Amino acid sequence: MSKSDYYELLGVGRDSSDADIKKAYRKKAMQFHPDKNPNNPSAEAKFKELSEAYDVLRDDNKRSAYDRYGHAAFEQGMGQSHGGNSAFDFASSFSDIFGDIFGDFMGGSNQSSGRGADLRYNMEVTLEEAYKGKKATIKIPTSVACSDCNGTGSEGKSSPQACRMCNGAGKVRAQQGFFTIERTCPQCQGAGYQIINPCKKCSGNGRLRKDKALSVSIPAGIESGVRIRLSGEGEAGMRGSSPGDLYIFVNVKQHNLFLREGPHLFCKVPISITTAALGGNVEVPTLEGKRGKINIPAGTQSGKQFRLRGKGMPPLKGHNLGGDLHIETHVETPVNLSKKQKELLKEFENEGKGSSQNPQSEGFFSKAKELWDELKD
């Protein structure tokens, strides 16, 4: 599927100012925001596309790269493994956009509707857990009705009184030109009443903090920076309004054997000089817990790469295909040799004199000799 032009997506010209782009994004993002289009995958996809477009166009560097090269500027290319701005980066940059745009507009809607705040939960997983997927139980802070005041917020028998500013309506009206603007009462924040004698346990909030256990499933193949949204698991809303969402930001810890790049795994495996010279089978670790086997041909050098197809990370739905395991050999020089071994090695060297058995050394030293000869003159 070919990607849509970022400018066309936002409906702005290529010479639009930053402010125009922000305005256009804001308008469209509000229209397609998942909270306004629950259970609507096409709106969510559109929202994602818009956010991706805005993430590029709001940044001067990314925008000029996009203007010059189009989408190709952000595709993962050869030798540019970290320069990409594909689907993965979307999640990590999303929080910035969030703060930038939704910080105010969501905050605004929170105040008027009483919708609970979105929560962010940072979760660390090991590479093994990222490989297999994980079911985790997390504790998140949430609020429950205060038991001392039964959620009223008032101490003892005193009952709350109707707010004097709005007369209990929770809203106030103001005339502005031809329009009558209705807004949340600033005195009681829309509650319609005021607590005269606040409950000591909950300070008049009527709610108390309590941890809630929540089970979360982390999909196999998860990458650092990917965000999992649990709709409605955020903070409770005020006065029965809808709760916020919970966002789980996943960070995959570094592994002591494997280096991960996207779906691919890399592992350096030491081999003895005899295996390197004579060839042989070497067992290598894989993340599925089994032993992989690679066949080392005779005369293998350090840095030689072998690939075990499909032994990398499993595919993460919607993000990538599964990866491979890349093994790099590292020929290890033996230490703590016995007297006998030293003799054998000397004998070994004498035996090979005159024949071309170390092509790299010979090539290197003949070039070095040329340099020494030149410097002599």
Q: Which residues bind Zn ion (CB under 5 A)?
A: 146, 148-149, 163, 165-166, 185, 187-188, 199, 201-202
Q: In terms of CB distance, is 129 or 235 closer to Zn ion?
A: 235
Q: In terms of CB distance, is 164 or 346 closer to Zn ion?
A: 164
Q: How many CA atoms lie within 13 A of 168 on its CB side?
A: 3
For the bound state, the minimum distance from the C-beta of residue 160 to Zn ion, rounded and expressed in Å, comes to 11
Cβ atoms of residues 172 and 166 within 8 Å: yes
For the bound state, the minimum distance from the C-beta of residue 195 to Zn ion, rounded and expressed in Å, comes to 10
Q: In terms of CB distance, is 9 or 149 closer to Zn ion?
A: 149
For the bound state, the minimum distance from the C-beta of residue 107 to Zn ion, rounded and expressed in Å, comes to 20
Q: In terms of CB distance, is 210 or 293 closer to Zn ion?
A: 210
For the bound state, the minimum distance from the C-beta of residue 20 to Zn ion, rounded and expressed in Å, comes to 38
For the bound state, the minimum distance from the C-beta of residue 147 to Zn ion, rounded and expressed in Å, comes to 8
For the bound state, the minimum distance from the C-beta of residue 325 to Zn ion, rounded and expressed in Å, comes to 57
For the bound state, the minimum distance from the C-beta of residue 113 to Zn ion, rounded and expressed in Å, comes to 16
Q: In terms of CB distance, is 200 or 367 closer to Zn ion?
A: 200
- As a three-state string, the secondary structure of the chain is CCCCCHHHHHCCCCCCCHHHHHHHHHHHHHHHCCCCCCCCHHHHHHHHHHHHHHHHHCCHHHHHHHHHHHHHHHCCECCECCCCCCHHHHHHHHHHHHHHHHHHHHHHHHHHHCCCCCEEEEEEECHHHHHHCEEEEEEEEEEEECCCCCCCCECCCCCCEECCCCCCCCEEEEEECCEEEEEECCCCCCCCEECCCECCCCCCCCEEEEEEEEEEEECCCCCCCCEEEECCCCCCCHHHCCCCCEEEEEEECCCCCCEEECCEEEEEEEEEHHHHHHCEEEEEECCCCCEEEEEECCCCCCCCEEEECCCCCCCCCCCCCCCCEEEEEEEECCCCCCHHHHHHHHHHHHHHCCCCCCHHHHHHHHHHHHHHHHHHC
Q: In terms of CB distance, is 148 or 332 closer to Zn ion?
A: 148
For the bound state, the minimum distance from the C-beta of residue 112 to Zn ion, rounded and expressed in Å, comes to 13
Q: In terms of CB distance, is 50 or 185 closer to Zn ion?
A: 185
Q: In terms of CB distance, is 11 or 186 closer to Zn ion?
A: 186
